[in-house]
Chains A and B, each alone.
Chain A
Amino acid sequence: MSAKQTTTSAAFLATLKRDLLIAIKKKNDIVNPFMFFIIVVSLFPIGISPESDRLREIAAGVIWISVLLASMLSMDNLYRSDYEDGSLEQLLLSPHPLFFLVLAKNISHWLVSGLPVVLVSPLLAYMLNLPAQAYGTLILTLLLGTPIMSLIGSIAVALTVGLGSRGLILAVITLPMSVPVLIFGTLAVQSTLNSLSPLGYLSLMLVMLSVAISLAPLASAAALRISVN
Chain B
Amino acid sequence: MLDAIQFASFAEFLDMGGYAFNVWSVYAIFAIFITANLILPMRKKQKIIRQLKRRMAVDAEIQSESDET
Question: Do any CB atoms of chain A lie under 8 A from CB atoms of chain B in the complex?
Answer: no
B residues in contact (CB < 8 Å) with A:
none
